[in-house]
Amino acid sequence: MAGTSSGGEEAVSPGPIAFEDAVLVTRFRQGDMQAFGALVAKYQDRIFTMVLRMCPNRAEAEELAQEAFLRAMERIDQFRGQSRFYTWLFRIAANLTLSHRRRAGRVKFRSMDLLDESGGSQAANLADEAAGRHVVRPDEAAMALETRHRVLGAMDELDDEFRIVLVLRDIEEMDYDQIAQVLDLPAGTVKSRLHRARCALKEKLADLVGEA
């Protein structure tokens, strides 16, 4: 892929945020633990959200997010600064989460933790489209809750390779090149998988969208 080094990191021009991360990484390498703490504080919510969307068990998601930061700390010397730090960090977290799901086997969506988190995601947008109106009555509220549950359940039925691109694009709002770096895939493959994921999601929810 153009702009990618032999080590798989994306060559980018550091903006203000990337420059700040680079300074914090340098300080941490020099023994400043508070610098790494600042990186954790900066990205912990985004990492946790991504992991939780892939692994809806909140306790497991918390453990995986913590493990991602621990591995980043242990492997900081492997970060060469040719990509943005958060891209490198997301790659660690994504790999951990996908490996966890492969080991544990696919599980059905059981958690209700996400039902009140719209987050601007594709799932929430489809749920709103299917609901089709503002909820005011108790029966309408119950129907909207069921709709959201159906949408999130349909997301969990997607194969992980499609679900992860949906999460990174529609929840984390990464661009195609960033997702390609996180997943170590060509940008064209990312676009293809995202299209297939959205089509599969709409197909699974065809009855809901048709009723809107």
Spatial distance between the Cα atoms of 174 and 158, rounded to a whole number of angstroms: 20
Q: How many CB atoms lie within 10 A of CB 163?
A: 21
Q: What tokens were used for 95?
A: 């790999």
Report helix, strand or coil for 10: strand
Regarding whether 75 and 161 lie in a shared domain, the answer is no
User: pLDDT at position 148, please?
Assistant: 73
Where among 77, 107, 137 does a domain terminate? Answer: 107
Regarding whether 97 and 148 lie in a shared domain, the answer is no
Regarding whether 92 and 130 lie in a shared domain, the answer is no
Low-confidence winner among 3-7, 74-78, 141-145, 172-176 (lowest mean pLDDT): 3-7
User: pLDDT at position 17, please?
Assistant: 57
Regarding whether 95 and 55 lie in a shared domain, the answer is yes
Q: What tokens were used for 173?
A: 């709002």
- Find the domain containing 23 and state its range: 13-107
Spatial distance between the Cα atoms of 126 and 23, rounded to a whole number of angstroms: 40
User: pLDDT at position 129, please?
Assistant: 46
User: pLDDT at position 42, please?
Assistant: 95
Tally of domains within the chain? 2
User: pLDDT at position 135, please?
Assistant: 47
Residue 3: inside a domain, yes or no?
A: no
Confidence of residue 138 (pLDDT cuts 50, 70, 90): low
**Per-residue pLDDT for 121 more than 50?**
no
Residue 190: inside a domain, yes or no?
A: yes
